[in-house]
Amino acid sequence: MERSPSTDRQRVWLTTAQTCEMLGMTRQTLRQLRLRGVLRPGKHFRR
What Cα–Cα distance (Å) separates residue 37 from each residue in 6, 7, 32, 33, 43? 32, 30, 9, 6, 15
Looking at the domain assignment, is residue 15 inside a domain?
yes
Q: What is the pLDDT of residue 26?
A: 78
* pLDDT digit string (tens) for the chain, length 47 residues: 555 555 555 555 667 777 767 777 777 887 787 777 765 655 555 55
By residue range, what is the domain housing residue 36? 8-47
Helical packing angle, 27-36 and 16-23, nearest 10°: 100
Looking at the domain assignment, is residue 2 inside a domain?
no
Looking at the domain assignment, is residue 31 inside a domain?
yes
Distance CA 33, CA 23 (A): 12
Structural domains in the chain (count): 1
Looking at the domain assignment, is residue 38 inside a domain?
yes
